[in-house]
């Protein structure tokens, strides 16, 4: 992808507004932390690793705007900035991993030194996601055979990672290894990350992609048109349970029933060893309007009750392998995750 999803311009964060894609490619220059928080809440920046990277730069921006020269007061105000980011979206753990790293980086004798250290840590987090997603993509591509058709859900490409991509990274690396590969992309209601973003990214890479509605997945899997399912992750619990975009669990059950592999691709920054199992992962509930409307257009009777959980949890027993930059892991996940997570 030519255009960078997130770019630090020194004192400003340039993002490609994902809520407007694919029909409008609009870049927004965010020069204060409030705008970065809003961009995360409104999914202008989205996808677990990208949220972490954006928040890290956002915290650095917030720190740079603090005017006091008293260090204790500075740290109190910085903590307020951090709290605002922590309240932006609850499910992707990359956000909280980035926040913890930024808190640790907020050290130094003087305020100027701390501000500088925060910018450097944000750049490091960004660089590490870039490297990790490239590495896991290379590893994951070894699992994909020449001529495979993969099904993916939501969007786990460069836009979502501020790097090379996770699920889409594996697909891109497979092609780079000289293998033929094609993709079925689910539209991913309610916010259509598959139809708008995955379709766009794959077409830019000249990877054959067929767009389907979410409810068509079972049909194509039953017809043996799909060789494996590959998705990203928002949080991986210590036992290997995976939270990802709503609808992922359905695909995992279908894959198991049809005996095709179900792969999860994610950097180790998505692993949360503090949660023993997936039922403890906080699931974001978003506005019902995202369900009752499509792209702002109402599609249901006024006054209808709608539910909108943004993620679901796939139990580890449905997952064939988790692809990380530190290796491909399989059952028993608990032991493997413990040995690779930082």
d(CA 50, CA 83): 18
Phi, psi of 7 (to 5 degrees): -140, 130
Determine if 95 is a binding residue for ligand MRU (CB under 6 A). Answer: no
Q: Mind giving me the DSSP string for 71-92?
A: HHHHHHHHHHHHHHHHTT-SS-
Of the residues 72, 234, 241, 279, which is catalytic?
234
Q: CA nearest 12: which of 57, 67, 63, 77?
A: 57
- For the window 211-250, what string marks contact with ligand MRU as x by the rule CB under 6 A? --------------------xxxx---------xx-----
Q: How far is the CB of 292 from ligand MRU (least distance, A)?
A: 18
Query: Of 27-35, 40-48, 201-209, 294-302, which part binds ligand MRU (CB under 6 A)?
Result: 40-48
Three-state secondary structure call for residue 224: coil
Strand order in the sheet with 181-186: 209-212, 181-186, 148-152, 228-231, 262-265, 321-324, 327-329
Considering only 33, 39, 46, 184, the residue that binds ligand MRU (CB under 6 A) is 46
Q: Which is nearer to ligand MRU, 270 or 320 (CB)?
A: 270
Among 135, 137, 161, 269, binds ligand MRU (CB under 6 A): 161
Residue of 36, 111, 160, 162 interacting with ligand MRU (CB under 6 A): 160
Number of residues that bind ligand MRU (CB under 6 A): 19
Residue 47 binds ligand MRU, judged by CB under 6 A? yes
* β-bridge partners, 324: 327
Nearer to ligand MRU by Cβ, of 45 and 122: the residue is: 45
Least Å from the CB of residue 65 to ligand MRU: 26
Residues 6 or more apart whose Cβ sits within 8 Å of residue 102: 55, 56, 59, 60, 82, 118, 121, 122
Tokens standing for residue 44: 């202008």
State the nearest-atom distance from the C-beta of 157 to ligand MRU, in Å: 8
Question: Which long-range CB contacts under 8 A does 301-308 form with residues at least 24 apart?
Answer: 308/190
Is 171 near ligand MRU (CB under 6 A)? no
In which residue are the tokens 């599609």 written? 299
Question: Do 57 and 95 touch, CB atoms closer than 8 A?
Answer: no
Of 114 and 254, the one with the shorter C-beta distance to ligand MRU is 254
Is residue 156 at the binding interface for ligand MRU, with CB under 6 A as the rule? Answer: yes
Binds ligand MRU (CB under 6 A): choice among 5, 16, 36, 48: 48
**16 in contact with ligand MRU (CB under 6 A):** no
Residue 97 sits in the site that holds ligand MRU (CB under 6 A): no
Cα torsion 201, 269, 259, 208 to 10°: value is: 10
Residue of 21, 30, 44, 49 that binds ligand MRU (CB under 6 A): 49
Q: Least distance from C-beta 143 to ligand MRU, angstroms?
A: 17
Q: Is 234 a catalytic residue?
A: yes
Instruction: Give the nearest distance from C-beta 122 to ligand MRU in angstroms.
Output: 19
**What distance in Å separates the CA atoms of residue 60 and residue 153, rounded to the nearest whole number?**
32
Q: Which DSSP helix (H) or strand (E) runs through 173?
A: helix 167-176
Q: Which residues of 267-300 are buried (b: 16+ CB within 10 A; e: fewer)?
A: bbbbbbeebeebeebebeebeeebbbeeeeeeee
> Which position among 193, 292, 320, 324 is part of the footprint of ligand MRU (CB under 6 A)?
193
* Residues recognised as catalytic: 234
Residue ranges that bind ligand MRU, judged by CB under 6 A: 43, 46-49, 92, 154, 156, 160-161, 166, 193, 231-234, 244-245, 310
């Amino acid at each position: 992808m030519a255009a960078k999803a997130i770019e630090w311009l020194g004192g400003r964060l340039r993002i490609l507004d994902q809520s407007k894609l694919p029909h409008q490619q609009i870049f927004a220059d965010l020069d204060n932390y409030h705008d970065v928080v809003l961009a995360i809440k409104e999914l202008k920046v989205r996808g677990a690793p990208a949220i972490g990277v954006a928040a890290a730069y956002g915290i650095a921006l917030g720190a740079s705007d603090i005017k006091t020269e008293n260090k204790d007061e500075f740290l109190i105000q910085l903590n307020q900035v951090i709290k605002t980011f922590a309240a932006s979206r609850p499910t992707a753990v990359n956000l909280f991993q980035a926040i913890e790293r930024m808190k640790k980086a907020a050290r130094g004798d003087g305020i100027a030194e701390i501000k500088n250290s925060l910018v450097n840590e944000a750049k490091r987090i960004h660089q590490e996601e870039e490297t990790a997603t490239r590495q896991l993509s290379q590893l994951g591509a070894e699992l994909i055979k020449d001529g495979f058709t993969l099904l993916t859900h939501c969007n786990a490409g460069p836009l979502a990672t501020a790097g090379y991509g996770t699920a889409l990274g594996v697909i891109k690396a497979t092609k780079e290894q000289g293998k033929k590969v094609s993709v079925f992309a689910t539209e991913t209601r309610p916010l259509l990350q598959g139809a708008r973003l995955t379709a766009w990214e794959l077409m830019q890479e000249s990877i054959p992609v067929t767009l389907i509605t979410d409810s068509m997945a079972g049909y194509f899997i039953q017809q043996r048109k799909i060789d494996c399912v590959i998705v990203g992750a928002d949080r991986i619990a210590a036992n290997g349970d995976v939270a990802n975009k709503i609808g992922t669990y359905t695909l995992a059950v279908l894959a198991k029933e049809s005996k095709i592999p179900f792969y999860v691709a994610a950097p180790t920054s998505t692993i949360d060893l503090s949660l023993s199992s997936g039922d403890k992962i906080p699931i974001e509930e978003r506005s019902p309007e995202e369900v009752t409307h499509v792209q702002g257009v109402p599609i249901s009777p006024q006054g209808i009750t709608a539910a909108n959980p943004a993620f679901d949890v796939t139990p580890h027993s449905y997952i064939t392998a988790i692809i990380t930059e530190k290796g491909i892991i399989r059952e028993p996940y608990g032991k493997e995750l413990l040995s690779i997570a930082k």
